[in-house]
Structure 1
Amino acid sequence: MTVPLSILDLATIGKGQTAAESFAGSVAMAQLAEKLGYRRVWYAEHHNMSSIASSATSVLIAHVAAHTDTIRLGAGGVMLPNHSPLTIAEQFGTLETLYPGRIDLGLGRAPGSDQNTMRALRRDPHSADTFPQDVLELQGYLTGPTRVQGVEATPGRGTNVPLYILGSSLFGARLAAQLGLPYAFASHFAPNALQDAVAVYRREFKPSEQLAAPHVIAGVNVVAADAASDAQEILRATMRARVSLFFGGGRQFTDDEADMILDSPQGQHISQMMKYSAVGTPDVVLDYLDGFARHADADELIVAHQSTETAERLRSVELLAEAAGLVSV
């Protein structure tokens, strides 16, 4: 690979699996990623999703950090409008204090949930409007000086936890450029504006104390398997699970029902979400990722290893690392 590889762990709760089993899988994945030479592992904030266990992102990061030694861990990301900047500064300041030099903080402005869940979170529907100001306030708590007179984050102040702006539109690209922060594009599920957003970010980037030159991280789905047919079966199972997640309203569709939806105009949305997916044997996956890195003009790829089964995700992590020639530790 010509660029570093990182992992987005969706903390998947597979069919018949518990959240505790999902967390055990996340620990196993981070340990394997550390051993094989991936750069970082991130976890995304989602709420009210029965198949995703990373709702309390900072807690999961702490758990995984306690079971690993060197790999960077972070939020990809914290949906900042769901929280006060001070609370997030304290949480990630605590993480950085406990695990120095290993913590990242990616920030997004989406709810990570539906409208009813937003209300349950006590989120103001207009809270996303102040996202740029909230990012600056949070940055002040972590790096100093504070932007709120008389208020400091303890722990937090002086920890200089690196911030990343996450997005899937030109808004996030422009904000990251203006603030001189790294930009991570969510092309693993929202692919449409990838090239335009990256071009805007690179063109408008202003150096900062954190970052001297633009740094783009692009998300991409990966299903690497020993046989091409196995990879295709895993991909189909993943897409069936998404049908139940997005259209099931709490129920699980049978495989036949899910396939009917996937093959309908309604199901094309899921196929479009997974536009950027490297699927197949390791050599095929690696070739796709090399081309995708050029297509995205990315400095780093963050891959979401897709499967409803923990063992299949771990095998994909391993096969890609071997094909890419990552350095084992």
Structure 2
Amino acid sequence: MTSLADIPFSLLDLASVTRGSSIGDTLQRMFRCAQHADKLGFERFWLAEHHNMEGIASSATSVLIGQVAAKTEKIRVGSGGIMLPNHPPLVVAEQFGTLDCLFPGRIDLGLGRAPGTDPVTMRALYRDERRADFFPDEVSELQRLLGPDSGPHPVKSYPGSDSQVDIWLLGSSLFSAQLAAQRGLPYAFAGHFAPPLARQALNLYHQLFQPSDVLEKPYAILCLPVIPGETDEEAQYLLTSAQQRVIALRTGKPLYLPPPVETMEGIWSPMERMQVEAFLDLAVVGGPATVKSKLTMLAEQLPVQEFMFSMDIYDEGKRLRALELLAEIR
């Protein structure tokens, strides 16, 4: 039987703004969450790049990574991820090379090939729609820029060269799973919003993995929603915040995290309920015993070396307590 004690726990944060709160207050809550996770022994704290999404405040991802790293001591801090088609590889290498100089051995660079936004905002970012096609080449460029100094070259990252930055490939489809396997890089699957392909992508990554200077054997993270509560009933109540926000996401409304409600009846239609439940298919919700049982089952059924959790919990005290429950479960 797989022991959860052998599987690191990590967090993915979008700097979610709660309804009625300010961005400044949101970021302070995020810092307190990262500090609590650091003290509880969580492995890493990642931030996701999104643009023009009202209610999500993690758009300046590398800036926030530096702030979180400065306010914590041991936990690894990184991107989950930087959407590479939005940025020149040299700029990414310089930013993360600088972070590595400030916080050596604690910085992760997770890379995605999606824009992290809508088509209109893509143009506002001056993004070439063909950039995603060059993702494998730009990953190679970043590996060169952040890797050992390879001698004379017209373009170098300074800071960046000879860094300790760990490069990860992120994905919600099979493309990045295959690329990560071919390059011998660690891989993270976005099960928190693309659950149907989780099993196939993780299996494919492990089947195709080629050892490299970075990794001798595959290492995969599964990111999934988790809502721990003191009881199953409390967790189901807390879950209604995430359920309401998924409806907002699907209907193009602002993504402020709303307070939980006693019932979703009257808030969602039967069709919306089906859509929300499919979106949250991998969600682990319940009291400590239920969460432990579900995570153990996932660890036995899927080839994962680490769990990363997204936690859409409205109340800060409940969120910090949820971290404690996860640490106790592990």
After TM superposition, the score normalised by the length of structure 1 is 0.93
Name the aligned partner's letter for residue 223 of structure 2: G
Question: 1:11 is matched with which residue?
Answer: 15
List structure 1 segments (4+ residues) > 3 angstroms apart after TM superposition: 144-149, 248-263
List gaps (5 residues or longer) in structure 1.
Answer: 325-329
Name the aligned partner's letter for residue 163 of structure 1: I
8 Å contact kept, 2:169–2:185? yes
Which residue of the other structure, out of 292, 305, 323, is the alignment partner of 2:329? 323
Q: Secondary structure at the match of 2:247?
A: helix
Q: Within 5 Å, which residues of 2 pair with 1:1-329? A: 1=4, 2-145=6-149, 149-250=153-254, 259-260=265-266, 262-324=268-330
Cα deviation for residue 115 of structure 1 reads 1.0
Higher alpha-carbon deviation: 260-269 or 76-85: 260-269
Aligned residues: 324
8 Å contact kept, 2:100–2:106? yes
CA distance in 2, matches of 1:251, 1:293: 31
Q: Secondary structure at the match of 2:181?
A: helix
CA distance in 1, matches of 2:167, 2:92: 12
CA distance in 1, matches of 2:175, 2:51: 23
Q: Secondary structure at the match of 1:17?
A: coil
8 Å contact kept, 2:17–2:57? yes
CA distance in 1, matches of 2:70, 2:193: 30
8 Å contact kept, 2:245–2:255? no
Q: 1:87 to 1:258 in 2, by over 3 A?
A: farther
Q: Secondary structure at the match of 1:193?
A: helix
Cα deviation for residue 229 of structure 1 reads 1.8
8 Å contact kept, 2:148–2:163? no
8 Å contact kept, 2:15–2:27? yes
8 Å contact kept, 2:145–2:160? yes
8 Å contact kept, 1:185–1:216? yes
Q: Deviations over 1:142-201 (max 9, x none)?
A: 004569941111110110311010001111111000110001000111011111111111
CA distance in 2, matches of 1:93, 1:12: 27
CA distance in 1, matches of 2:245, 2:263: 11
Q: 1:148 to 1:307 in 2, by over 3 A?
A: farther
Q: 1:251 to 1:137 in 2, by over 3 A?
A: closer
CA distance in 2, matches of 1:112, 1:262: 26
CA distance in 1, matches of 2:224, 2:120: 29
Name the aligned partner's letter for residue 318 of structure 1: E
List gaps (5 residues or longer) in structure 2.
Answer: none
Q: Deviations over 1:37-95 (max 9, x none)?
A: 11111111111111211111110010111111111000011110110100100000000
CA distance in 1, matches of 2:209, 2:243: 36
Cα deviation for residue 270 of structure 1 reads 2.4
Q: Deviations over 1:99-118 (max 9, x none)?
A: 00100010000111111111
Q: Secondary structure at the match of 1:104?
A: strand
CA distance in 2, matches of 1:308, 1:129: 38
8 Å contact kept, 1:243–1:258? no
Name the aligned partner's letter for residue 247 of structure 2: V
CA distance in 2, matches of 1:321, 1:304: 15
- Determine what percentage of the aligned residue pairs are the same residue: 44
Q: 1:248 to 1:169 in 2, by over 3 A?
A: closer
Q: 1:230 to 1:258 in 2, by over 3 A?
A: closer
Name the aligned partner's letter for residue 49 of structure 1: M
Q: 1:258 to 1:46 in 2, by over 3 A?
A: farther
Q: Secondary structure at the match of 1:70?
A: coil
Q: Secondary structure at the match of 2:21?
A: coil
Q: Secondary structure at the match of 1:314?
A: helix
Question: 1:327 is matched with which residue?
Answer: none
